[in-house]
Structure 1
Amino acid sequence: MLSIIGFALYLIPMHGMIIVGSGDLTRIGWYSNNRYGNHKPNLAFRPSLVTQSETLNRHYDVVIIGDSFSLDLEKSWPNYLAAKGLSVLVVSIADDPAKKSGTAVDVENQIMALIQSPAFRDTPPSVFVFQTIERFAKRRLVGDTQPCLDTRKNSEGNTEATPMSATLTEPLTLVYKSPPDFRIEEVNMPPVGRYDEQQLTYARDFLLKNIRKAFGWESGASAFRLHVPRFSSDRPETLLVVSSDLAKKDWNQQDVEVMECQLLRLQQAVQSNGKTLFVALPIPDKLSAYHDDLVDPAPPRGVVDLLTDPRLNRPPVEKALRSEIAAGEIDVYLPNDTHFGARGHALTAETVLRFIEERTRRVDASGMPSAPRSKQADNPGK
């Protein structure tokens, strides 16, 4: 009993995850936060600058429908857009992981309901972002009951005009106002020795689960070796990923084509009002982002960079993230979590904002317009 109590004090698993709001991989895979927790602090906006709701009831500069990469109200990348003076609404994507079918239809129905709402019709957002993590892209975009038909060629094989290439009929304008007061705080892992009342039970289960792992039991997370250190943890050359990242090995080219086609259909639906810019934002999962650094390259590569149709409004966030990782940036993704570290969030915001501003006219709070900024967008994360 004394040994378990001492081990519980050493592990700090529950306390660490609760304090910093991360550690889903150490929890799922029964790894220790002492070994895999980040030493480089994460960053949090206090208070959060974005609004979260399931409905649209007024004008917002940017509406984002997304998953947990967008829904962490204090740490996620939409805060960086709001810090530039844009009003931002985040809507949780309609995706129940327990459902075995119908998810792509559910997501499409959710988006259609939003764009058919009175607020979207009367005061449409300037930008509509659809964000999904890569490992769920197939279930959210490839439907079993509603095939996506790309109509770029007619029955004679000749190219036809297609509604999927809908463009805006009015100049897109973003109004930059002064954001409310906020501060950005560092969020650190707690020191070893902090005790939580749940840790005794956790320490017991931790030992039992790892004994089972030694005899072949597979948890929901996997560990891979990297050629170079990429994290601030005590195991900087170990990549922890959720096991569902490996499911991409069963995806084929047709799946990718249907994902792209469905994104184009959603883009057509959103931009049909001629006023709202649609932005597709599939985010590479952790395994894809660090794949070039794997000692064993056998795990499946990512598919985000295969979405290359020139009609699709898609910021190249995967290239920006991989470039930052290759340049030596630590904790672009958190070592003990599936999500971004501070730089990953900031870089995603920079990439999205640059993509939007290359296509818009910018107006400051005084009402004075400026020309589209092309490649000169600010770097909100620097």
Structure 2
Amino acid sequence: MHREITITNTHNAKLFSILIVLVMALCAIGISLFGNSLGPPVGDLTRIGGLSEKNYGFRREGIGFTDNHFTVLRYDDLMSGKGKGQILTFGDSFSTPKDHNITWQNTLYEKSGLTIDFVEIETLKEIRKFFQSDTFRKAPPKAIILEMGERTIFRRALPNMEQVNCAMPPKQPALTLSPQTVPRIRWKQRTDFASFDERLSWGALALRFRLLKPGKTVDVALSRSDLFSSSRSDRLLIYQSDIIRHTERAFLPMEPEVAAKKTLCAMHDVINAANGLSPVYLLIAPDKRSVYTPWIQTGLPPKAINFLEVFSKQAGSYYIDVFSPLSAAVHAGKKDVYFPNDTHWSAEGHAIVGSVIAETLGR
């Protein structure tokens, strides 16, 4: 009797194990098929929203560079004197190396012939600290470019708002530019998965974000369908921060007018800390929403502060306006100035930005 019970329990355990394996296999197959229906993960907005690359993906041929023509440094490397570029750029995700080397610094090198270093930043406080260092005073670059996203400029300026030198920085001197011939490459967005694991993980990630973090990506209707090459070209994907970081709540406990004034002052203070040893320029990367606003049909909360307007009107010669040329390109019908599936500029957008910066430096 005891032996029969043991045999039965062993048999049931095997059946249960087989059932578990079958369920796991079916789940893996289901998630894989779901991932396959979305297409391989490419854009940041499609990834964080669990959306289909087949619907929102870039569908044109792009032109990039065969190599990156700028050096990426850590902040500690910069402070220890390892920066050798003639132009130093501080920036965020709009300036980091991109697939196919489309980043605007490559266009700037092509237009100027000047070597470039890039350091990713957190706040203005670190930049000010560099300007006050012996490293900077001993070997100041020919020019410095500060790039910050429109949605993040207040947060990056916040740690430096206790400084008091709000005086308008002096006019920046022009540089001598020597344009270079730089090899280019043609590319297309990939349409195949690298492996089964990627298909499975992409499907699982998409399910997770759809179920647990809805709203990270906002999908709004457009009145035009010729602005993007995607299948859903009448839709605009934007990051939720393009909305929430511009509401009054984002600037509390300050009133919007005070926050705008303090942000402008903090920027002036940082640039003045360079003490004229290097001309310093500010570039604000416009939110995707800002450039495509004329065609957005869905009602979005208005901006409590329009930093693009604040700096355009009050910043003087150190401000590089890229909003106007990017908007002009979209108005003229240029497709994919921003990627349809991503927060950032396409190769077209990066080329516009790099060209505008080179023009400004040599003006």
TM category (shorter chain) comes to 0.7 to 0.9
Partner letter of residue 36 of structure 2?
Answer: L
Among 223, 233, 241, which residue is 1:227 paired with? 223
Give the number of equivalent residue pairs.
317
Among 225, 236, 250, which residue is 1:239 paired with? 236
- Name structure 1 gaps, 5 residues minimum: 18-22, 96-103, 152-161, 359-382
Alignment of 1:2-151 (within 5 A): 4-14=31-41, 17=42, 23-54=43-74, 55=78, 56-57=81-82, 59-72=84-97, 74-84=101-111, 85-93=113-121, 95=122, 104=123, 107-108=124-125, 110-143=126-159, 146-149=161-164
- Equivalent residue for 2:183? 183
Q: Relative to 1, partners in 2 of residues 1:83 and 1:207: Cα closer, same or farther, differing over 3 Å? A: same
**1:80-106 Cα shifts (integer Å, max 9, x gaps):** 11123111111111x2xxxxxxxx4xx
Q: Relative to 1, partners in 2 of residues 1:124 and 1:220: Cα closer, same or farther, differing over 3 Å? A: same
Structure 2 contact 48–206 (Cα < 8 Å) conserved: no
CA distance in structure 2 between the aligned counterparts of 1:269 and 1:193, rounded to whole angstroms: 49
- Equivalent residue for 2:266? 262
Q: Could you say which structure has the higher helix fraction? A: 2
Q: Relative to 1, partners in 2 of residues 1:275 and 1:176: Cα closer, same or farther, differing over 3 Å? A: farther
Structure 1 contact 172–276 (Cα < 8 Å) conserved: no
> SS of the residue aligned with 1:112?
helix
CA distance in structure 2 between the aligned counterparts of 1:312 and 1:177, rounded to whole angstroms: 23
Deviation of the 1:267 alpha carbon? 1.6
Deviation of the 1:190 alpha carbon? 2.2
**1:316-348 Cα shifts (integer Å, max 9, x gaps):** 111111111111111111111111001110111
Alignment of 1:231-380 (within 5 A): 231-246=228-243, 247-250=245-248, 251=251, 252-270=256-274, 272=275, 274-301=276-303, 302-307=306-311, 308-311=313-316, 313-358=318-363
Q: Relative to 1, partners in 2 of residues 1:9 and 1:254: Cα closer, same or farther, differing over 3 Å? A: same
Does residue 202 of structure 1 match 2:202? Answer: yes
CA distance in structure 2 between the aligned counterparts of 1:178 and 1:345, rounded to whole angstroms: 17
CA distance in structure 2 between the aligned counterparts of 1:119 and 1:177, rounded to whole angstroms: 29
> SS of the residue aligned with 2:247?
helix
TM-score (norm 2): 0.79
**1:225-272 Cα shifts (integer Å, max 9, x gaps):** 1111211111111111111111202252222222211111112112x1
Deviation of the 1:45 alpha carbon? 1.9
Q: Relative to 1, partners in 2 of residues 1:178 and 1:337: Cα closer, same or farther, differing over 3 Å? A: closer
RMSD, aligned CA? 2.5
Partner letter of residue 338 of structure 2?
Answer: Y
> SS of the residue aligned with 1:219?
coil
Deviation of the 1:111 alpha carbon? 1.3
Q: Relative to 1, partners in 2 of residues 1:293 and 1:194: Cα closer, same or farther, differing over 3 Å? A: same
> SS of the residue aligned with 2:59?
coil
Deviation of the 1:62 alpha carbon? 1.1
Deviation of the 1:177 alpha carbon? 7.1
> SS of the residue aligned with 2:186?
strand
CA distance in structure 1 between the aligned counterparts of 2:348 and 2:205, rounded to whole angstroms: 34
Deviation of the 1:165 alpha carbon? 3.2
Sequence identity (%)? 25
Partner letter of residue 240 of structure 1?
Answer: L
Structure 1 contact 61–174 (Cα < 8 Å) conserved: no
CA distance in structure 2 between the aligned counterparts of 1:288 and 1:112, rounded to whole angstroms: 29
> SS of the residue aligned with 1:280?
strand
CA distance in structure 1 between the aligned counterparts of 2:170 and 2:235, rounded to whole angstroms: 45
Partner letter of residue 273 of structure 2?
Answer: A
Q: Relative to 1, partners in 2 of residues 1:254 and 1:48: Cα closer, same or farther, differing over 3 Å? A: same
**1:93-124 Cα shifts (integer Å, max 9, x gaps):** 1x2xxxxxxxx4xx32x213322444422331
Deviation of the 1:205 alpha carbon? 5.0
> SS of the residue aligned with 1:258?
helix
CA distance in structure 2 between the aligned counterparts of 1:287 and 1:240, rounded to whole angstroms: 9
State which drifts further: 54-63 or 316-325.
54-63
Q: Relative to 1, partners in 2 of residues 1:253 and 1:43: Cα closer, same or farther, differing over 3 Å? A: farther
Deviation of the 1:69 alpha carbon? 0.8
Over alpha carbons, which structure has the higher Rg? 2
> SS of the residue aligned with 1:27?
helix
Partner letter of residue 132 of structure 1?
Answer: M
**1:332-365 Cα shifts (integer Å, max 9, x gaps):** 111111110011101111111111111xxxxxxx
TM-score (norm 1): 0.75
Deviation of the 1:280 alpha carbon? 0.7
> SS of the residue aligned with 1:114?
helix
Structure 1 contact 62–128 (Cα < 8 Å) conserved: yes
Deviation of the 1:11 alpha carbon? 2.2
CA distance in structure 1 between the aligned counterparts of 2:219 and 2:359, rounded to whole angstroms: 34
Structure 1 contact 129–279 (Cα < 8 Å) conserved: yes
CA distance in structure 2 between the aligned counterparts of 1:62 and 1:195, rounded to whole angstroms: 40
CA distance in structure 1 between the aligned counterparts of 2:53 and 2:185, rounded to whole angstroms: 21
